[in-house]
């Protein structure tokens, strides 16, 4: 009996000991999980039950100078993927649903995984609604796959404005690496034009909502009652200096031609219209651009993506004679009474340089030489003025340097100098004969249409310079304030008499018989301008015109270049005249009906220079 009792007691103690040990182990493990590893496992627990929902910001809108909405947004669906939740065995099926190559989808998932395993990244944008319905219906089948509503650009104006506004595209890996705190894979970013130049202002700030989901990924509740949510902030709106109606009309004027038009408000430097033709339809880029469309645009030999207004350079032709005249007048080398004889040609060394008028212009002073665009007068004047002085005055007018318009990449053109020629030809390897071509805006001298518009503005304003720009002010949604943007102003210092002679000569070019720019006349408005014909070794000459109106109180300054067409007086001047007239109808000539200025016929082109 005693042995049995003893055995029973022993087994009881062993059993109790085992129970106590198990309990201690469980309590220890619970302590370990709840306290020791709370940060690590708590984070994993939250990641498994709390889902981050992106709140995409609305990109800022754009308005023209009259307050007309020209760029807004339309809703679009983007599919997102959270790498930590997604099953890799579903790649093939998801790729089929999204109409993506499996390798492409795999690369996008890997890219998202490198960025963050627990935060959703966009894997396809601009997705059809039917795809979203399928993903929503079979949500349990695609863990980690979701969608967001984002905005894609919509254009309200009949003007294309492709080289002004620019476009957005999906961010590249290189761009992503530069700003990892702002962007995520699949985000869109301004890529050209104003969209790129003002990306920091337009993009807004992304927000995040945190929600609790069940094992099926279905919404259960807001996490922390929504207190940790970060609301998105929409981008700021831009108010442009562009007149959308004038822009549309300018585009029509160059519809079937290659070239550029830049119109500027001489009182502020605000760009009224900027056309580069050929151009392209911005709607191609509002969502996801089809690869074949992108390839076609890049392969197009007419280069529709190239911004001729800021990046293409041309010899300015006879429009540049005003710079040479300014140098000679300002430094006292000539006065208005000084004359030169033009028999129709000029011999320098063993070469003969022609005037555009075979029979010549006879004896002309500087005003008559500008009005009639006499080449021989300026050949002789260039040799009196000299290379260095000519170069210095060209820089004074802004040539050989960027205008600082700031909304897209631009080139500074080429303004030859003594140092430049020494580098190109070698010291002592060039002669004064090189200067003859420069006298009439040919040779190595090259300018952009944007520079020429600023040149026209300076002539209109008697040297009062305003930095050219396309955005006047910004409405900031964060502060609810309007911010006027500051721009540089300064003065090109020439005497009043020099400005008077230059401007009066330009007025004779347009408004009087014998002027080469009569095609730019606007009925009832006194105008001023200068024509030019730029020699083109690859085909027909390029036609130039610069000018402004009204003469006494300029409201618009214009530069027009039309490629491969012929004389500036015949082709570019009428285009400028129509544009000026259309703009003034909406400002100071409201009640006068529109008149189409005809292209002048051959009998009127006596003064059209070569």
CATH of the domain at 332: 3.40.710.10
CATH at residue 111: 3.90.1310.10
> Looking at residue 599, what is its pLDDT?
39
Residues 6, 80 within the same domain: no
Name the phi and psi angles at 554, rounded to 5: -60, 130
Residues 25, 56 within the same domain: no
Is residue 127 scored above 80 in pLDDT? yes
C-beta separation of 77 from 147 below 8 A: yes
- Res. 292 pLDDT band, cuts 50 70 90: confident
- Summarised one tens digit per residue, pLDDT across range 174-221 is 888 888 888 888 888 999 999 999 999 999 888 877 777 665 555 566
Instruction: Quote the distance between the C-alpha of residue 449 and its chain's center.
Output: 15
Residues 313, 217 within the same domain: no
Residues 207, 338 within the same domain: no
- Res. 610 pLDDT band, cuts 50 70 90: very low
42 lies in some domain: no
Nearest to 503 by CA among 528, 483, 523, 524: 528
Residues 352, 477 within the same domain: yes
Is residue 55 scored above 90 in pLDDT? no
Distances (CA, A) of 577 to 100, 527, 558, 581, 610: 52, 9, 9, 6, 21
Average pLDDT over residues 588-593: 39
466 lies in some domain: yes
Residues 105, 191 within the same domain: yes
**What's the DSSP call for residue 312?**
-
245 lies in some domain: no
Residues 275, 312 within the same domain: yes
Residues 283, 217 within the same domain: no
Residues 441, 531 within the same domain: yes
Residues 106, 216 within the same domain: yes
Task: Indicate the SS3 state at residue 275.
Answer: strand
7 lies in some domain: yes
Q: CA angle, corner 28, sides to 25 and 34, nearest 5?
A: 135
Residues 59, 22 within the same domain: no
163 lies in some domain: yes
Is residue 5 scored above 60 in pLDDT? no
243 lies in some domain: no
610 lies in some domain: no
Nearest to 261 by CA among 596, 547, 552, 608: 547
Domain total for the chain?
Answer: 3
**Domain with 80 in it:** 51-236
478 lies in some domain: yes
Residues 26, 139 within the same domain: no
- How far apart are alpha carbons 327 and 439 in whole angstroms? 12
- Summarised one tens digit per residue, pLDDT across range 334-392 is 999 999 999 999 999 889 999 989 999 999 999 999 999 999 999 999 999 999 999 99
């Amino acid at each position: 009996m005693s042995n049995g009792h003893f055995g029973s007691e022993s087994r009881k103690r062993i059993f109790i000991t085992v129970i106590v040990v198990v309990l201690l182990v469980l309590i220890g493990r619970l302590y370990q999980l709840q306290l020791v590893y709370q940060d690590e496992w708590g984070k994993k627990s939250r990641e498994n039950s709390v889902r981050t929902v992106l709140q995409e910001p609305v990109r800022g809108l754009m308005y023209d100078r009259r307050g007309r909405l020209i760029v807004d947004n339309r809703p679009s669906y983007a599919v997102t993927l959270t790498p930590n939740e997604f099953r890799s065995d579903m790649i093939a099926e998801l790729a089929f649903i999204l109409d993506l190559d499996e390798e492409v989808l795999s690369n996008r998932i890997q890219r998202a995984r490198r960025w963050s395993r627990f935060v959703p990244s966009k894997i396809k944008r601009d997705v059809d609604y039917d795809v979203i319905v399928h993903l929503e219906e079979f949500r349990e089948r695609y863990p980690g796959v979701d969608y967001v509503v984002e905005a894609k650009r919509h254009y309200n104006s009949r003007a294309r404005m492709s080289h002004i506004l620019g476009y957005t595209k999906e961010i590249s890996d290189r761009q992503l690496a530069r700003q990892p705190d702002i962007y995520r894979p699949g985000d869109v970013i301004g890529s050209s034009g104003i969209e790129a130049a003002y990306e920091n202002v337009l993009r807004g700030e992304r927000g995040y909502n945190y929600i609790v989901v069940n094992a099926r990924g279905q919404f259960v509740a807001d996490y922390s009652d929504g207190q940790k949510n970060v609301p998105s902030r929409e981008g700021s709106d831009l108010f442009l200096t562009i007149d959308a109606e004038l822009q549309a009309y300018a585009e029509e004027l160059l519809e079937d031609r290659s070239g550029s038009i830049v119109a500027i408000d001489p009182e502020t430097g605000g760009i009224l219209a900027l056309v580069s033709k050929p151009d392209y339809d911005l709607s191609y880029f509002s969502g996801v651009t089809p690869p074949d469309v992108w390839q076609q645009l890049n392969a197009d030999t007419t280069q529709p993506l190239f911004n001729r207004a800021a990046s293409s350079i041309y010899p300015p032709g006879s429009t540049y004679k005003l710079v040479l005249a300014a140098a000679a007048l300002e430094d006292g080398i000539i006065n208005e009474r000084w004359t030169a004889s033009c028999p129709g040609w000029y011999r320098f060394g063993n070469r003969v340089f022609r005037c555009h008028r075979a029979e010549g212009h006879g004896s002309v002073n500087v005003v008559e030489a500008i009005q009639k665009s006499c080449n021989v007068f300026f050949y002789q004047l260039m040799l009196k003025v000299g290379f260095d002085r000519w170069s210095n005055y060209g820089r004074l007018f802004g040539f050989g340097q960027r205008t600082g318009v700031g909304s897209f990449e631009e080139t500074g053109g080429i303004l030859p100098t003594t140092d430049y020629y020494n580098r190109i030809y070698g010291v002592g390897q060039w002669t004064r004969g090189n200067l003859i071509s420069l006298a009439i805006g040919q040779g190595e001298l090259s300018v952009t249409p944007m520079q020429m518009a600023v040149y026209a503005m300076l002539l209109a304003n008697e040297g009062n310079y305003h930095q050219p720009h396309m955005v006047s002010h910004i409405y900031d949604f964060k502060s609810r304030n309007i911010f006027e943007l500051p721009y540089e102003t300064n003065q090109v210092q020439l005497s009043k008499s020099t400005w008077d002679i230059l401007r009066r000569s330009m007025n004779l070019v347009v408004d009087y018989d014998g002027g080469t720019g009569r095609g730019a006349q606007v009925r009832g408005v006194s105008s001023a301008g200068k024509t030019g014909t730029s020699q083109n070794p690859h085909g027909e000459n390029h036609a130039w015109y610069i000018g402004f109106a009204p003469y006494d109180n300029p409201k618009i300054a214009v530069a027009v270049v039309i490629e491969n067409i012929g004389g500036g007086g015949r082709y570019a001047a009428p285009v400028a005249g129509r544009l000026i007239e259309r703009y003034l109808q909406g400002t100071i000539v409201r009640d006068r009906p529109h008149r189409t200025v005809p292209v002048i016929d051959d009998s009127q082109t006596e003064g059209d220079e070569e």
